[in-house]
């Protein structure tokens, strides 16, 4: 990890500009990490070296930052397994009206989780490293709460731009994953930031904009591998009602999971139209047995997410992925 690899490849050094885009979804990111771990094993080298730009939102942003510093994905998978209940809790999804009401009250007056455990883990892995020290190009969406504006954190990769090179990677990771009502907003300098998933759960289009308008790359030469968080075709476990109120929408994270699922569907359709066969999307359908949530880190959830990732890799066109991205 401490070795210095060759600098990130420039568009001129590759016939195809390769992009990796990682969606958000809290603890569902274990699915993403397992998929990336399998791809990294097939690549036989740090996965980031296969790509010219990495985009990530929320937990996808944390994974993107880890990739950019060439942290092995196997280590990130262990973090989910060993520390998931420290970052979130040991609780499963609430069952019954009373337990659901109690669960909802945990985020009424303040964030559900402090974020302290997550920051401690990130500090141990990334330390004082800044975006300027990243080994690979990054774009990380967040929302500037003070002015209600979108923010794209960037490594200093564009011509005549320093990007956000002076910022600590840990602070950027905390900012992009500061999901409202789950974690506190992240202060960087005088500004407060919240989760980039508020507008770009899947940062595919953010990456395309960066490539076209800041790196000057022709989209005809761009290929993208996009990885979700296992929330495709999300369905609430108890169905839907036409008269659902706040409790109905917030129960089991339904509102957040709906936003995650539909944003990813929309982005996938848009980018497929732009890139055609040069766009590859890896994701899994929401399991009918349920038991998952963006803050559910139980052993059952971990086993299910791992199983979903194995199935995704097993059913993927690995020859196409290896030829198009990992070669």
Among all residues, which ones are annotated catalytic? 58, 195
Structure tokens at 108: 């009424």
Question: Please, are residues 56 and 65 in contact by the beta-carbon 8 Å criterion?
Answer: yes
Spatial distance between the Cα atoms of 261 and 228, rounded to a whole number of angstroms: 9
Cβ-in-10-Å burial (0-12, 13-18, 19+) of 73 comes to buried
* Diameter of the chain measured on Cα atoms: 60
Spatial distance between the Cα atoms of 170 and 174, rounded to a whole number of angstroms: 6
Q: How far apart are the first and last CA of the chain?
A: 21
**Closest residue by Cα to residue 79 from 311, 302, 282:** 302
Question: What are the beta bridge partners of residue 233?
Answer: none
Structure tokens at 227: 């990885």
Spatial distance between the Cα atoms of 188 and 134, rounded to a whole number of angstroms: 19
- E strand spans, 87-244: 138-144, 149-154, 186-188, 191-195, 222-227
Question: What are the beta bridge partners of residue 279?
Answer: 224
Could you tell me how far CA 305 lies from the centroid of its own chain?
15
**Closest residue by Cα to residue 20 from 80, 75, 83, 73:** 73
């Amino acid at each position: 990890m401490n070795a210095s690899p060759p600098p990130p490849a420039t568009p001129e050094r590759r016939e195809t500009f390769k992009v990796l885009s990682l969606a958000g979804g809290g603890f569902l990111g274990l699915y993403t990490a397992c998929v990336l771990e399998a791809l990294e094993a097939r690549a036989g080298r740090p996965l980031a070296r296969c790509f010219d730009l990495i985009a990530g939102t929320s937990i996808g942003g944390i994974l993107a930052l880890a990739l950019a510093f060439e942290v092995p994905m196997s280590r990130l998978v262990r973090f989910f397994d060993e520390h998931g209940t420290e970052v979130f809790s040991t609780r499963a999804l609430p069952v019954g009206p009373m337990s659901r009401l109690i669960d909802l009250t945990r985020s009424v007056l303040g964030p559900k989780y402090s974020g302290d455990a997550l920051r401690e883990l990130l500090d141990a892995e990334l330390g004082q490293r800044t975006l300027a020290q990243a080994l690979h190009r990054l774009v990380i969406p967040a929302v500037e709460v003070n002015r209600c504006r979108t923010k794209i954190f960037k490594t200093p990769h564009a011509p005549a731009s320093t990007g956000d090179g002076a910022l600590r990677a840990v602070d950027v990771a905390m900012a992009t994953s500061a999901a409202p009502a789950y974690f506190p907003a992240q202060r960087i300098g005088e500004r407060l930031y919240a989760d980039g998933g508020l507008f770009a759960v899947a940062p595919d289009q953010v990456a395309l904009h960066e490539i076209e308008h800041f790196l000057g790359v022709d989209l005809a030469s761009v290929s993208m591998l996009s990885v979700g968080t296992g929330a495709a075709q999300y369905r609430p476990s108890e169905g839907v009602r036409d008269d659902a109120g706040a409790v109905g929408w917030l129960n089991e994270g339904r509102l957040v999971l709906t936003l995650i699922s539909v944003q990813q569907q929309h982005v996938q359709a848009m980018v497929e139209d732009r890139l055609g066969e040069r766009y590859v999307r890896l994701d899994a359908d929401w399991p009918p047995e349920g038991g998952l949530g963006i803050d559910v880190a139980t052993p059952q959830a971990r086993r299910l997410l791992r199983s979903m990732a194995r199935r995704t890799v097993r059913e993927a066109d690995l020859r196409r992925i290896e030829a198009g991205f990992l070669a």
